[in-house]
Amino acid sequence: MADDNRPLFLDPPTLPKPPGYSQLVEVRGGATLYIAGQVALDAENRIVGPGDFAAQAEQVFKNIDLALRSRGGDIASLVKLNTYVLDLGDLPVFRQVRDRFIPPGASAPASTLVQVSGLFRPEFLIEIEAVAWMPNA
């Protein structure tokens, strides 16, 4: 008999194919989704917005939303964000982009933002990993 409580590891076709990790992990028997760090790649693995922090941040949030929609959720399902940026000077732009996707308020996800010295490819300016909860999944 199959164990229905085992995590389901997924790579939605709307996201780039990852090397060595899952884009999305659904914890079965619960409704928690763990979204791998998203960068400014489109579904064809092309970088979006080289050198443009705002364009990259927008693509990252689009990727998170696509991941959530692949499981019947949306950006409102987010409960936690971990954001990594190369330059804290981009924080005002980050907040503008984030607030277009996630309106500030009582249901905004918990969040961490840190400056890092580099991401896995030098052309990336931002990476966000997320956790979401699906009440009726």
Q: Determine the Cα–Cα distance for residues 49 and 123; give it in Å rounded to an integer.
A: 9
3 part of a folded domain = no
CA atoms of 86 and 119, how far apart (whole Å): 8
| Structural domains counted in the chain | 1
Q: Looking at the domain assignment, is residue 107 inside a domain?
A: yes
For β-strands 78-85 and 126-133, DSSP reports them as antiparallel
Give me the amino acid identity at 136.
N
pLDDT digits (tens, 9 = 90+) for 32-71: 899 999 999 999 999 999 999 999 999 999 999 999 999 9
CATH code assigned at 14? 3.30.1330.40
pLDDT, one tens digit per residue, over 79-137 is: 889 999 999 999 999 999 999 998 877 678 888 999 999 999 999 999 999 999 887 65
Pairing of strands 78-85, 32-38: unpaired
Question: For residue 2, is it within any domain?
Answer: no
Give a yes or no: residue 123 inside a domain: yes
Query: Domain span at residue 41?
Result: 8-133
Q: Is residue 1 part of a domain?
A: no
